[in-house]
């Protein structure tokens, strides 16, 4: 199983969609994993990382990320042209 601390480089919650977005860096490639908060809440954290709910939540997220890593990485961001100064 992957180490979440070593792979997740960004995370954010979108309250409009109810999704938690995780950006993962793996072998120099970026992958985005989007998970409904309701899905994560099936394993509510109990306060400490070693609590059963926290372990189940982390294991579930690690499985989702591992599955995503089997697919294509995110497309590279388009290069932007520097603004010319007047």
Domain boundaries, the chain: 4-68
Residue-wise pLDDT for 24-35, tens only, equals 999 999 999 999
Question: pLDDT at position 49, please?
Answer: 58
Where the chain has pLDDT below 50, the residues are: none
Integer Cα distance of 64 and 50 in angstroms: 20
Q: Are 46 and 53 in contact (CB under 8 A)?
A: yes
Question: pLDDT at position 54, please?
Answer: 77
């Amino acid at each position: 199983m992957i180490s979440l601390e070593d792979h997740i480089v960004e995370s954010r919650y979108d309250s409009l969609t109810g999704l938690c977005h995780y950006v993962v860096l793996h072998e120099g490639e970026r992958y985005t994993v989007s998970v409904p908060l309701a899905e994560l809440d099936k394993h509510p954290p109990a306060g400490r990382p070693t609590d059963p709910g926290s372990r189940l939540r982390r294991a579930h997220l690690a499985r989702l990320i591992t599955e995503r890593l089997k697919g294509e990485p995110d497309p590279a961001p388009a290069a932007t042209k520097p603004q010319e100064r007047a």
